[in-house]
Amino acid sequence: MKALIRLWELILERFHLKEFLEHPVPRYSNINPLYWLGDVAAMSFFILAITGFALALLYTPGLSVTETPPDPLLGDAGTYSATQSYASVYRIAYLTPLGFILRQVHLWSAYMMVFATLAHFFAKFILGSYKRRGGGALWLLGVILGFLTINQAVLGYILPLHLDGALAIQIGLNIFRYFDYFGIPVSNLIVAVLGSTFVTDQVIKTVFVLHILIVPALILIFLGLKINGILYGGVSPPPIKDGELRSKAVEEKEPFYPHRFALTVGQLLLQLSVILLLAALTPLPLLEPWVPGQSIPPGVRPPWPVMWFYTYVKMINPFISVGLPFFLVLFALVVPLLDRKGGVSIEERWVWVAIAIVYIAIIGYGTVLGFLVDIPKQITPFTRISVPPNYAVPYVGTPQPVGP
Amino acid sequence: MVDENKRNILKIFIGSSVALSIGALTTPLIGSVINTRDLALKGGYSSVKVVLCEDVNNCPEEYSVPISDLREGPKFVLLKKGNMAIPAVFGLVKATDGKEYAAAYNIVCTHFGCPVNPTGGQYLSGFACPCHGSFFTICPNPNGCGGAPFLEAYVTAGPAPRPLRPVKVVVKGDRVYAVEAYI
C-alpha cells in the first residue's frame, strides 16, 4: 500500500500534475449552472470516445446485402434483409451481451453532447464571456467545436444505414452539388474522391473513418486548446455590475483539488446516471433497415436537433429559411465584434440577453411545433430554382421498342 | 490592452466569411428573380459521364437485365465501373404508340439526392421522390411532351430543378444493356 501511495505521489510530481491539481479556481463558478455546461459537453465527448472504442471494434461498414434467417424466438418477424452495416448494428444492439446498453449510452451521450453544446453556447452568450481578455479567441474555438460536434452527430447518424441514415447520406452527398451553379465543380470532386453520389462501400468507409478518426482528432485538438486557454486565462467573470464586488469575486480563489475536483467527479457521475436513466426509460430503437434499390416510404423524419430547421423550411419561404442557420452561425461569429462596450452584468447587457432569449425561443418553438404538427410543404415562386437549359441532360438513348 | 493588429486580422477573417456566405445565399435568390441564362457558365454540365461499355457486343452481363424480368416490373441495378457506381432502375415504358420501350434512369433525385421510387406498377411511368415530393414523369409520347423529348423523366411536381439523369440502354437479344450513364 505504501509503495502504491509513493508511486502515485511520484506520478503527480514527475508529470507536474500537482500544479494542475493546485491551480487556483474562483469560487463563484462552483455552483452556477451556467459554468458547468461546457464540462457536460466535454465529458460527453469522453464517454462517447470510450463507448465508441468498443462500438468501432464490433461494427463493420459495408453495403453487401444479407438475408437473416427467421429467429426461433421471433419467427417471421425476425427475418430481415439489410446491409452489412445495418446487420452489424443489429447484432450489437440485440445479439451482443451488453451491446444494447453500449449503443444506448453512445446515442444518449451523443444527444447530450449536442444539447450541452447548444446550451453552453447560450450560457456563454448570456454571460458575455467573449468580453474578457482572450475570450474572443475561445469563442471562435467554441464555434468551430460546435460545427465539428454537429458533423460528428450527422456522421454517426449515417453509420447504421437505417432508412433515415441512408437518406441523410444521400442528401449529404448531393446537396453540395448546387455549388456547381456558381462554377465550383463539387460534383466532379465528389465523383473523383468517392466515385459516386450514391452510398457505396467506398462512401460508407469514408464516413466511418471520418466519424471514428478524423473529426474526433480535430475535436480533441481544439478541445485541448480551449481547455488550455481556460486553465491559464480563467473562466468568464461573474455578471456583477459593481466593479469592486466583481474583482473581489474574481480574486477569491481556492485550489482545484479537492473541492472543485470533487464537484467535477460528482458532475461526471450525475451525468452518467442521467444517461443510464434515459437509456433505461426511453431506449432508442434501431430504425427499420434499408437496402439499395428498395422503395422508400414518403415523409422525412428529421432527428430532434434539426427539427426546428425543418419546421421553418416548411413554414417560411425556403430562400429565407434555408439561410436561417447560416445567419445564426454568422451572428455567433460576429457577436464578439459587435458587443464590446460596457460591462458583463445583465443590466448593462439586457439587449444581448434579450437577443439570446429570442434565439432560444426560435429554436425551441420550431422544435416543439415540428413534433406537434405536421406542416404541409409550402410551394412558393422560389421553390423551383430556374436552371439554364444547357445544364440539363437531354434523354441520351435511341428509343428501342421491345417485343412485337 | 487590445492588440489592434489582431483585431484587424479577425475583422478581415470574419468579414470575408460574412461576405462569402451572403454572396452564396443571395446568388440563387437573384438568379431566380432575373434571367441568368446569359450569365450562366458555358462550361459543361455538372454531371459526370460514365461510359460503361464502348460496344454492346462485348458488354458484361452485370450491366444488363433480361426483358422477361422487366415485364414483371422495374428492376434496380447498381452499375459499377471501377470505383464508380450508378444506382439505376431499368423498366419498360408503355408509349402512346402502343409499343413498349426499354429505358433506365439514375435514381438519384436531382433536388437533394434521395433515391426515387419507380411508379406505374408493371410498366415504368415515372418516379416519386420520398423526401421532398418531387415527381418525375417519363414522357410516353414519341413526338415529345412539351419541352421534354421522348422517354425523358421530366419534372412534373416538386422542387427538383431538372430531369432525372438518364442511362443510355441498348436492347440486344432478350436483354437490355446499359452502355452509358451519368452520375
CATH number at residue B152: 2.102.10.10
Residue-range definition of the domain harbouring residue B67: 49-182
Is residue A319 domain-resident?
yes
B177 and B89, same domain (yes or no): yes
A328 and A287, same domain (yes or no): no
What does the alpha-carbon distance between residue A140 and residue A144 come to, in Å, rounded to a whole number? 6
Contacts of A307 (CB under 8 A, 6+ apart): A366, A367, A370, A371
Q: Is the pLDDT of residue B63 over 80?
A: yes
The x, y and z cell numbers of residue B152, run together, are 425523358
Q: Which amino acid is at B120?
A: G
Residues of B in contact with A384 (CB under 8 A): 159, 161
Helices marked H in A236-384 = 243-251, 261-281, 304-315, 318-321, 324-338, 350-372
Is residue A270 domain-resident?
yes
The distance from CA A372 to its chain's CA centroid, rounded to whole angstroms, is 23
Mean of the per-residue pLDDT values of chain B: 83
**Domain end among A293, A317, A339:** A293
B31 and B62, same domain (yes or no): no
A274 and A307, same domain (yes or no): no
Looking up residue A252, the CATH number of its domain turns out to be 1.20.810.10
Is residue A35 domain-resident?
yes
Interface test with A, best of B83, B109, B129, B168 (most A CBs within 10 A): B83
Say yes or no for a CB contact (<8 Å) between A185 and B46.
yes
- Measuring CA to CA, which residue among B178, B174, B151 is closest to residue B79? B178
A345 and A283, same domain (yes or no): no
B59 and B6, same domain (yes or no): no
B20 and B74, same domain (yes or no): no
pLDDT in tens, chain A (404 residues): 899 999 999 999 999 998 888 889 999 888 888 999 999 999 999 999 999 999 999 999 999 998 876 666 666 666 778 899 999 998 899 889 999 999 999 999 999 999 999 999 999 999 988 888 888 899 999 999 999 999 999 999 999 999 999 999 999 998 888 777 777 778 888 888 888 889 999 999 999 999 999 999 999 999 999 999 998 888 888 888 888 888 888 888 999 988 999 999 999 999 999 999 999 999 998 888 899 888 888 777 788 888 888 888 878 776 677 777 888 888 888 888 888 877 788 888 888 899 899 989 989 998 998 888 876 655 444 444 444 444 555 676 677 777 65
The x, y and z cell numbers of residue A45, run together, are 465527448
Is residue A177 domain-resident?
yes
Residue-range definition of the domain harbouring residue A14: 7-67+78-293
Pick from A295, A381, A384: CB nearest B159 = A384
Contacts of A318 (CB under 8 A, 6+ apart): A378, A380, A382, A383, B159
What does the alpha-carbon distance between residue B107 and residue B87 come to, in Å, rounded to a whole number? 6
A279 and A312, same domain (yes or no): no
Is residue A350 domain-resident?
yes
A249 and A282, same domain (yes or no): yes
- If one compares B139 and B7, the residue with the highest pLDDT of the two is B139
B114 and B136, same domain (yes or no): yes
Residue B27: the pLDDT is: 66
Under DSSP, the state recorded for A75 is B
B32 and B74, same domain (yes or no): no
The residue behind cell 444506382 is B87
B56 and B25, same domain (yes or no): no
- Measuring CA to CA, which residue among A397, A262, A152, A4 is closest to residue B152? A397
Is residue A159 domain-resident?
yes
- Whole-structure pTM value: 0.85
B171 and B99, same domain (yes or no): yes
Is residue A2 domain-resident?
no
A218 and A91, same domain (yes or no): yes
Number of domains chain A is built from: 2
Q: Is the peptide bond before B149 cis (omega within 30 degrees of 0)?
A: no
Pick from A187, A382, A394: CB nearest B48 = A187
User: Contact, A163 vs A360, CB < 8 A?
Assistant: no
A14 and A134, same domain (yes or no): yes
A199 CA to chain B: closest CA distance, Å? 9
Residue A349: the pLDDT is: 87
A127 and A157, same domain (yes or no): yes
ipTM of the complex: 0.80
Number of domains chain B is built from: 2
A165 and A194, same domain (yes or no): yes
What does the alpha-carbon distance between residue B168 and residue B50 come to, in Å, rounded to a whole number? 10
B36 and B56, same domain (yes or no): no
First vs last C-alpha separation in chain B: 56
A198 and A346, same domain (yes or no): no
Residue B31: the pLDDT is: 59
What does the alpha-carbon distance between residue A46 and residue A49 come to, in Å, rounded to a whole number? 5
Residue B49: the pLDDT is: 85
**Domain end among A293, A316, A332:** A293
Residues of B in contact with A392 (CB under 8 A): 45, 162-163
Q: Which amino acid is at B102?
A: A
What does the alpha-carbon distance between residue B69 and residue B65 come to, in Å, rounded to a whole number? 7
Residues of A in contact with B149 (CB under 8 A): 394-395
Under DSSP, the state recorded for A341 is S
Q: Is the pLDDT of residue B93 over 70?
A: yes
What does the alpha-carbon distance between residue A387 and residue A366 come to, in Å, rounded to a whole number? 31
A238 and A349, same domain (yes or no): no
**CA dist list (Å): B89 to A341, B33, B65, B150, B159:** 62, 35, 10, 17, 21
Under DSSP, the state recorded for B114 is P
B32 and B108, same domain (yes or no): no
Is residue A394 domain-resident?
no
The x, y and z cell numbers of residue A305, run together, are 436537433
B7 and B62, same domain (yes or no): no
Say yes or no for a CB contact (<8 Å) between B46 and A400.
no
The x, y and z cell numbers of residue A22, run together, are 493546485
A260 and A327, same domain (yes or no): no
B25 and B91, same domain (yes or no): no
Say yes or no for a CB contact (<8 Å) between B78 and A173.
no
